[in-house]
A and B are shown apart, each in its own frame.
Chain A
Amino acid sequence: MRELRIHGRGGQGSVTAAELIAVAAFEGGVFAQAFPAFGVERRGAPVQAFVRFDDKVIRKRSQVYEPDYIIVQDSSLIKDVNVFQGVKNGGIVIVNTEKIPDYKVPEGVKLITIDATTIALKTIGLPITNTSLMGAFAAASGEIKFSALENALNQRFSKELAVKNIEAARQAYKIVKGAGL
C-alpha cells in the first residue's frame, strides 16, 4: 500500500485534490481511498487530506502517519506544521513555492518544488493550486496517468473550468517530467 498526505489551508482544494487523485487511480485499475482530516472547516486553517493506493481492497481507516508522498499546497505551513513528519525513506515531497527552500526534508526523501501559484494564476486566473499540484504528483509519483487525471477533472468541473484546470495540471506535469525529477 502507498499513501499520500496533502497539507493545505481550508479553501485551497486539498480535499478535492485527494478525491480526484483517488478517482484517477481507480481508473488506472488500483483500489484507492481518499478522505479528509476532518478539520475545523474554516478558510485558512491548516487542513490535511489523504489518499491510499493498493492492489487489494483497502480496509484501513486511520489517518496517514507514514506517507510515501506528501504534497504541500502552501509553503507558509512549513513553519507552523511539521508537514514532513513520518515521510518514508525513498518518499517524495512536492512543495508549492517560488522560493529556494530554506528547509530540509528528511534524508532519503526527494524534494520537488514547483511554483504552482504562478501556474494557477496564469491558467485559471486564481491562486487555486490543487490542480497544478495534481499534475506534478502524476509526473513525480507515477501513481496516476495524466489521461486519467484529465478524465477526473472533466467529470468534476464544468467544461470551461475543466479546460483551465487541465491546462494548469499539464503545465506542472510537463515541468516535473521535463526536469527529470
Chain B
Amino acid sequence: MMHITEGSHAVAEAVRLCRPQVISAYPITPQTHIVEALAEIVADCQLDAEYITVENELSALSACVGASAAGSRTYSATTSQGLALMFEVCFNAAGMRLPIVMSIANRALGAPLSIWNDQQDSISLRDSGWLQFYAEDNQEATDLHFLAYRVAEDHSVLLPALVCFDGFILSHTYEPVDMITQEDADRFLPKFSPYERLDAADPISFGMYATPDYYLEFRYEMDRVLKQSKEIIHNAGKEFGCMFGRDYSAMIEGYRLEDADTAIVAMGSICGTTKDSIDEMRDEGKKVGLLKIRVYRPFPTEEVAKALSHVQRVAVLDKNISLGAKGAVALEVRDALYSSGIPVKDFIIGLGGRDVRKKDIKAVVALVEKGEGDIFYGLRREVL
C-alpha cells in the first residue's frame, strides 16, 4: 500500500518484512532513525529477532558475523566513520561468505568531519567482496533490501550486500512509498537456509588461515561468484517485477538514452534531479540521456558498454573521489568503454553535502559538450 513516510522508517519497515533473526548496529547520523525504529519494532514484538546492542560498529558487524555463521539471517546499518570502523570485519564477512545485509545511509568521511552526504563511505569498500546496490529514491531503497537478501543468500552467491541510499537526501525525506505485505515478502524471500553453519554437534571453522598455496584461490572464488551473481540479480529482480510491478532485473537503467548524443552516468539520488534536468534540456533540443547504475558491485561492465555504445560523449557524476586517481564510477565506465573510443569525462560533484541543482547538471553537460571535464565541479576557488 502506498503511504508517505520517512526514508529511514521505510527501510526499517522493509527490514522487518525481511525477518532478520539477529540485528546488531550502533547509531550514527544519518543512519540513526533506521536502528531506532528497528529497536522499537523488536521491543514491541513486531519482529522475532535478537537485537544486540554493542559499544561500537566494529562490535556490531562482528556480532553479525558470529550470528550469520551460526545460521541466522542477519542485519546491520551504518554510515561513514561507522563503516570505516567496520572495515576489517567487512572483508572477513565477505571472505567467510556470510550473506549479511547492511544498509548504508551514505555520508562523507572525515577529516574534516562532515555529517552530510556523498558516497565515499561505501565506495571505499568496493574491493571487499560485498554486493553494492544504490537507490535513487525511497521506493528503491525499500525494495532493494528484499532483493539484497535474496541474492546474497543464494547458494551460488553467498556474499554480503550493502544497500546504499543517500544520507539525509533520502534517509530524512518524507515521500510516498509502496510497501509490500508480509505475505508477499515471505513469498519473494523464503526462510534463510544456510549452506554451512556453526554447529557444536558437527564442528566446522569459518575464516581459517590460508597459506600462499590457497589464498589466491579464495580470492578467485569470491571474484567468480560476485561476477556470476549478475544472473541471480537479473532473475530475482525480474521476479520482483512480476510480483510487485517494479522490475529490478537490470543492473542499470536508461532514461531518454536511446537517441542521446550526450550521456550522463550517475548513481543514487542525484539521478532524480538529473532526470528533471534532462527533460528541460530535451525541451531545448539537446539530446541528453541518463544511465543510472543501480548495482555497482558486481560492476555491470558489459551492460554499460552496450547501453552507451551509440553516444558521442559521456559525463560521469561521481559523489566520491579515489584521491590521486579519479572518481570510482568514472574509472569503471572508462574501462567499459575503453575499446569504443567514446570520450568519458569525470565530474567530482556534491561531496560532503554540497547541493546539486538542475543548473549544475546542465553546466556539466555544457562542459562535456566542449570536451571539458575530469574536474571537481563547482570548486569555490576563493577559499583555496
Q: Which residues of A contact B (CB under 8 A)?
A: 18-19, 22-23, 26, 31-36, 38, 41, 58-63, 65
Q: Is the CB of A60 within 8 A of B4?
A: no
Which residues of A have CB within 8 Å of B355? 62-63
Q: B273 near A59 (CB under 8 angstroms)?
A: yes
Q: How many residues of B contact A (CB 8 A)?
A: 27
In the complex, B217 has a CB within 8 A of chain A: no
B40 contacts the other chain (Cβ, under 8 Å)? no
B353 nearest CB neighbor, chain A only: A38
The residue of chain B having its C-beta at the shortest distance from the C-beta of A152 within the complex is B4
Residue of A nearest to B30 (CB): A38
Inter-chain contact B358/A22, CB cutoff 8 Å: no
With contact pairs A23-B4, A38-B115, A38-B168 given, residues A60 and B276 touching in the complex (Cβ less than 8 Å): yes
Contact B174 A23 (CB under 8 A): yes
**Contact present for B273 and A62 (CB under 8 Å):** yes
Across the interface, which residues of B come within 8 angstroms of A33, CB to CB? 173-175
Chain A residues contacting B353 (CB-CB under 8 Å) are: 38
How many whole Å from A42's CB to the nearest CB in chain B? Answer: 12
With contacts A62-B357, A62-B358 taken as known, whether A32 is within 8 angstroms of B270 at the C-beta atoms is no
Interface of A is mostly: mixed
Question: When the two chains form their complex, are residues A38 and B172 in contact, meaning their CB atoms are under 8 A apart?
Answer: yes
Q: Which residues from B are CB-within-8-Å of A18?
A: 174
The distance from the CB of B348 to the nearest CB of chain A, in whole angstroms, is: 18
Contact, CB under 8 Å: A31 / B176: yes
B275 within 8 A of A: yes
Residue of B at shortest CB range from A24? B4
Tell yes or no: B272 within 8 A of A by CB: yes
Which B residues touch A32, using CB under 8 A?
4, 174-176
Residue of B nearest to A31 (CB): B176
B272 touching A59 by the CB < 8 A rule? Answer: yes
Complex interface: chain A residues within 8 A of B239 (CB)? none
- Tell which of A22, A38, A60, A61 touches B174, judged by Cβ atoms closer than 8 Å: A22
CA distance A33 to B174 in the complex (A): 5
By a CB distance below 8 angstroms, the chain A residues around B173 are 33-35, 61
> What is the CA–CA distance of A32 and B273 in the complex, to the nearest angstrom?
15
Distance (whole angstroms) from the CB of B371 to the closest CB of chain A: 27
A63 to B117, CA, bound (A): 13
Q: Give A58 to B269 CA distance when docked, in angstroms.
A: 12
Would you list 6 pairs from A and B whose C-beta atoms are within 8 A, ordered by A residue? A34-B173, A35-B169, A38-B117, A38-B168, A41-B29, A62-B273
Given A26-B176, A34-B173, verify A60-B272 contact (CB < 8 Å). Answer: yes
Identify which of B168, B272, B273 contacts A36 (C-beta below 8 A). Answer: B168
Chain B 148-183 per-residue mask, 1 if CB under 8 angstroms from chain A, else 0:
000000000000000000101100111110000000
Q: Is B137 in the interface zone, CB < 8 Å from A?
A: yes
Q: How far is the CA of A36 from the CA of B33 in the complex (A)?
A: 14
Whole-angstrom CA separation of A18 from B172 in the bound complex: 11
Instruction: Assess whether B6 is in contact with A61, with CB atoms less than 8 Å apart.
Output: no
Q: Are B175 and A58 in contact (CB under 8 A)?
A: yes
Additional A-B contacts beyond A38-B116, A38-B168, A62-B356 (4; CB < 8 A): A35-B169, A58-B175, A60-B273, A62-B355
Could you say which residues of chain B place their CB within 8 Å of the CB of A41? Answer: 29, 115
Q: How far is the CA of A33 from the CA of B7 in the complex (A)?
A: 11
B6 interface neighbour in A19, A26, A31, Cβ under 8 Å: A19
* B150 vs chain A, min Cβ distance (A): 26
Q: Is the CB of A35 within 8 A of B137?
A: no
Cα A41 to Cα B355 with chains together (Å) = 18
Considering the chains assembled together, what is the distance between the CA atoms of A62 and B355 in angstroms? 6
- Tell me the B1-39 residues at the A interface (CB within 8 Å): 3-4, 6, 29
Which among B29, B137, B173 has the highest number of chain A CB atoms within 10 Å? Answer: B173
Please name the residue on chain B nearest to A27 by beta carbon: B4
Q: Bound complex: CA of A63 vs CA of B273, how far in Å?
A: 11
Chain B: CB-nearest residue to A15: B172
A35, B358: Cβ atoms closer than 8 Å = no
Q: How far is the CB of A179 from chain B (nearest CB, A)?
A: 30
Shortest CB distance B283–A (Å): 15
Which residue of chain A has the shortest Cβ distance to B166 in the bound complex?
A: A61
Q: Mark B251-292, 1 if CB is under 8 A from A, else 0.
A: 000000000000000000110110110000000000000000
A36 and B168 alpha carbons, distance in the complex (Å)? 8
A26-B174 Cα distance, complex, nearest whole Å:
10
Residues of A within 8 A of B356 (CB): 61-62
CA distance A60 to B29 in the complex (A): 23
Question: What 0/1 readout, one digit per residue, does chain B (108-147) give for beta carbons within 8 Å of chain A?
Answer: 0000000111000000000000000000010000000000
Considering the complex of A and B, which 10 residue pairs feature the smallest CB-CB distances, nearest first? A59-B272, A26-B4, A35-B173, A34-B174, A62-B357, A38-B168, A22-B174, A33-B175, A61-B269, A19-B174
Bound complex: CA A32 to CA B270 (Å): 18
A residues in contact with B3, CB < 8 Å: 26
